[in-house]
Amino acid sequence: MKDDGQDINLSEGVVIIGYNGCPYCRKAYAFLAQHNISYKLMDTQQDAKANRLAQQNGIKGVPVIYVNGEKLLG
């Protein structure tokens, strides 16, 4: 698993912590795309930094969506 060193600020805009193979994540991506809402993805299966962030924040299921720093689950 690579660590892309990507600096994503959870308090700015829409950030999804998830992964591409997740059916619930795909529904979230589709919903946001349908409503022309841009987002940043932190893929927990492809990015070691995203995986560490998820573990540090006690995230056990995805997607977890942050909107301007506010955490929304599911």
For the whole model, what pTM was predicted? 0.82
CB burial of residue 61 (10 Å; 0-12, 13-18, 19+): exposed
Mean pLDDT of the chain: 87
- pLDDT bucket at 68, cuts 50 / 70 / 90: very high
pLDDT at 72: 82
Q: What is the Cα–Cα distance from 29 to 3, expressed in whole angstroms? A: 23
Mean pLDDT, range 22-33, rounded to an integer? 94
pLDDT at 1: 54
